[in-house]
């Protein structure tokens, strides 16, 4: 029990340090976990997500490449997909994603539809826009079905906002982003409340609302929080530079300032 308690304690401490963007301290805690349970999948993925947040894609690739997560190892799968997207090499992960989604695990709930969003993103970045639209339509259908059962689930609403963003419905995507913020306001949940604000930043960036996107990003980079992607790592200047979802903002001096600022402390 003491060993299990130590692992839980170190992991929780690492999680807190990640939210604060105090990555060296988080890595020390994760290494303490690995000293107890070498090759622990979730811990290795945490370390990879930190490397992504620091902009060290070779280091995150080295951590993620040897891993072979099952369909229910959701954080590991998403980290590998995000890695491919950050490297601008998404084509390689599409076949594996399709294979997983060909026989979706019903116990994963709306996560299967979330995976379809990721598949659509990878397909879109690979230039297969028709396939991306089909993936996003399937994702929307699944997410809307679950939303009827969980109308206040801000993570589900955020997934739907990003999916509908991909389908090009600006008004609905922005409205869903606002709905997600209302479902879990930052005043009620300081650490997870910013998740929908990041969704709004992404939707606004993609949908031609740079002022709203920049305002949201300025807020996010000034506070600790657990983000929606890749093991809940918050946005960092490095991720702003690497993440293609922010490409529409690249020429905006305000965005350039955020993307080149020192990592928040």
**The pTM of the whole model exceeds 0.75:** yes
The mean of the pLDDT values for the chain is 95
Question: Which of 19-23, 67-71, 118-122, 224-228 shows the lowest per-residue confidence on average (mean pLDDT)?
Answer: 67-71
Average pLDDT of the residues in 143-169: 96
Supply the DSSP string of the chain, one letter for each residue. Answer: -HHHHHHHHHHHHHHHHHHTT-HHHHHHHHHHHHHHSTT-HHHHHHHHHHHHHTT-HHHHHHHHTT----TT-HHHHHHHHHHHHHTT-GGGGHHHHHHHHHS--GGGTTHHHHHHHHHHHHHHHTT-HHHHHHHHHHHHHHHHHHHHH-TT-HHHHHHHHHHHHHTT-HHHHHHHHHHHHHHS-TTT-TTTTTHHHHHHHHHHHHTT-HHHHHHHHHHHHTS----SSTTTPPP-HHHHHH-GGGGGGTT-HHHHHHHHSPPP-
pLDDT band at 264 (very low <50, low <70, confident <90, very high): low
**Tell me: the pLDDT tens digits for 37-66?**
999 999 999 999 999 999 999 999 999 999
Residue 231: predicted pLDDT: 75
**Tell me: the pLDDT tens digits for 190-205?**
999 999 999 999 999 9
Query: Is the predicted pLDDT of residue 1 greater than 60, yes or no?
Result: no
Share of the chain above pLDDT 70, in %: 98
Query: Is the predicted pLDDT of residue 255 greater than 90, yes or no?
Result: yes
């Amino acid at each position: 029990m003491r060993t299990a308690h130590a692992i839980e304690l170190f992991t929780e401490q690492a999680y807190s340090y990640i939210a604060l963007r105090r990555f060296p301290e988080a890595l020390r805690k994760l290494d303490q976990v690995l000293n107890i349970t070498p090759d622990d999948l979730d811990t290795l993925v945490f370390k990879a997500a930190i490397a992504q947040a620091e902009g060290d894609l070779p280091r995150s690739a080295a951590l993620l490449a040897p891993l072979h997560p099952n369909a229910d190892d959701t954080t590991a799968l998403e980290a590998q997909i995000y890695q491919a997207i950050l490297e601008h090499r998404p084509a390689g992960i599409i076949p594996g994603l399709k294979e997983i989604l060909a026989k979706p695990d019903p116990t994963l709930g709306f996560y299967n539809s979330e995976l379809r969003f990721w598949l659509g993103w990878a397909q879109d970045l690979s230039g297969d826009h028709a396939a991306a639209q089909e993936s996003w339509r399937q994702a929307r259908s699944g997410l809307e079905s679950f939303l009827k059962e969980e109308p206040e689930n801000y993570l589900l609403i955020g997934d739907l906002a990003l999916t509908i963003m991909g389908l090009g419905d600006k008004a609905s995507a922005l409205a869903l982003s606002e709905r997600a913020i209302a479902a879990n306001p930052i005043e009620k949940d300081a650490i997870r409340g910013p998740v929908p604000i990041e969704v709004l930043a992404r939707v606004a960036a993609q949908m031609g609302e740079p002022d709203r996107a920049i305002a949201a990003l300025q807020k996010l980079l000034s506070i600790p929080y657990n983000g929606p992607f890749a093991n809940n790592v918050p946005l960092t200047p490095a991720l702003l530079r690497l993440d293609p979802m922010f490409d529409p903002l690249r020429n905006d001096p305000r965005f350039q300032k955020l993307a080149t600022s020192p990592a928040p402390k």
